[in-house]
Homo-oligomer: A and B are copies of this chain.
């Protein structure tokens, strides 16, 4: 497991595009929410609960909150590692946490979280997290913890 990935069940590599930058010469601050989305999608795929399948059941995961802390600028062509975990999973809402690293110099670029509720596609009424999805995520998080018990505690300390 990658050193930077400690405490995160999934990591995914992307490369910064020219389109991602702004005239300050760095990644535009709003685009980190797109990077979080990529992390979330790849997390769910790895956990065996991919988002396309979830949407096919006429359920939609609405975002109710997003937060980003910007630690260092990311630049065109940087390779970034998006690390993702599910930090909380209640009956109706759940929270993803993210850390984005530049691999070349092991610099933390950004971190943050998003909170979600599941909604029925048509009525937009809240839906309980289905047992199948909950189970996939819990098993995925447990497997990550068992792979790296020291790492998990290191992330806390």
Contacts and interface: CB of A to CB of B under 8 A. Distances in A.
Interface string A93-112: 00000000000000000000
A34 interface: yes
Secondary structure class of chain A's binding surface, majority of residues: mixed
A23 B34 contact: no
Interface in A21-51: 21-26, 28-34, 37-38, 41, 50-51
Nearest to A36: B30
A28 B19 contact: yes
A52 interface: yes
Interface of A: 17-19, 21-26, 28-34, 37-38, 41, 50-52, 60, 62-70, 73, 75-77, 114
